[in-house]
Amino acid sequence: MIGDMEGTSLRLLDLEFDPHVRSMSVSGQRTVLDRRSWSVFAALAKRLGECVSKEELLRAAWPHQLVHENSLAKAISKLRRTISGSGLEIVAAYGVGYILREAARDQAPALENEEPVGPARSVAKSIRSRCSTSAVVVAALLVILSAVGITGAFAPAQRAVPIRTAPPLTHDAPNAVATILWVDDHPSNNRLEIAAFKQHRIAVHLAGSTEDALKLVAMNRYALLISDLGRGDDRLAGLRMIEAMQDRRMMVPVIIYTMRPKDRAGQEAQRRMVTAAGAIDLAVTPQEVRAKVLKRLAPSTEAQGEAAVGLGQAEHRTD
């Protein structure tokens, strides 16, 4: 699995790399890595087939520095693009770290934001047990790297370096009691409701499409998601988004906010359809969506009283 040395180049499956100049080649496509990305690769290669924690990778690439995990994520993304097609892949162990392993046969490459569900230890153990790369390959790689004098890149840190001693900066108010995601291709229609939520210290993030919403849900923790039912030519875009979230095990409660059909039969059919899709509730007026959100996230007497008054003055939503 590891070919013979050719000058200063080494080979691991179909990945040829030169540690002296930090270059990698796959199918003749050569990429020169920056020092940080190479250090991450070196730390992963040292423990091929095993989970390497994020803290270890951060110490390897950014010694004695305080950096956020976003820097590591960018390096991993660059490495994934570089080794694509080489027979190797980098998979994420959610809440733990990353694993460099032989790509599974007849299986699509790992998604950029793919994160297995379940307790972190169980996930890491499960991924390690599925990895087909043997300990012999790991030993052989280390022998070759030692022969060219780059084992120093794999040396463990001499002392523990604190990483991220403060929480990351965000754009939300520090006193926010909750954060919600509002998905609507016409966000200006909801500006009054959004302003009302912010008065009750509920931060609001906006997304104009299902694609953007899925990316934001993957990155942030939301207490609630509000979505329109239809976007553009897709009159059921909100329900398809819920299905996509369920496929990715994104467990965020969703309220569908849309127009109400004129006849009672249509209204009942709409409610059944929204409930069957997995939404927790349906709102059809500005006052109703405000009341239902405040009841869940800001259940103070003042908030509920305001919401109740609004319901008595409800007007149907117009998209």
How confident is the model over 175-226, as pLDDT tens digits?
A: 889 999 999 999 988 999 999 999 999 999 999 999 999 999 999 999 999 9
Query: CA-CA distance, 75 to 181, in Å (whole number)?
Result: 28
Please check the confidence at residue 166 and state whether its pLDDT lies above 70: no
What is the C-alpha separation between 253 and 245, in angstroms, rounded? 10
Residue 123 pLDDT: 44
Helix (H) or strand (E) holding 116: none
Between residues 129 and 227, which one has the greater pLDDT?
227
> For residue 258, which phi and psi values (nearest 5 degrees)?
-155, -175
Q: What is the mean pLDDT of the chain?
A: 77
**Domain residue limits, the chain:** 10-154, 178-312
What is the CB neighbour count within 10 angstroms for residue 110? 16
Q: Measuring CA to CA, how many Å separate 154 from each of 25, 99, 108, 131, 145? A: 21, 16, 30, 22, 10
pLDDT at 259: 92
Mean of pLDDT values over 120-144 = 48
Residue pair 148/20 in contact by the 8 Å Cβ criterion: yes
- Evaluate if residue 169 carries a pLDDT over 60: no
pLDDT band at 303 (very low <50, low <70, confident <90, very high): very low
**What is the architecture of the domain spanning 10-154?**
Orthogonal Bundle (1.10)
pLDDT at 104: 73
Intrachain domains 10-154 and 178-312 with the same fold: no
**If residue 62 lies in a helix (H) or strand (E), which one and from where to where?**
none
Q: The pTM is what?
A: 0.46
Assigned fold of 178-312: Rossmann fold (3.40.50)
Amino acid of residue 187: P
DSSP one-letter string for 201-270 = TEEEEEESSHHHHHHHHHHS--SEEEEES-BTTBTTHHHHHHHHHHHTT----EEEE-PPPSSHHHHHHH
Specify the range with the lowest mean pLDDT, choosing from 64-78, 79-93, 209-223. 64-78
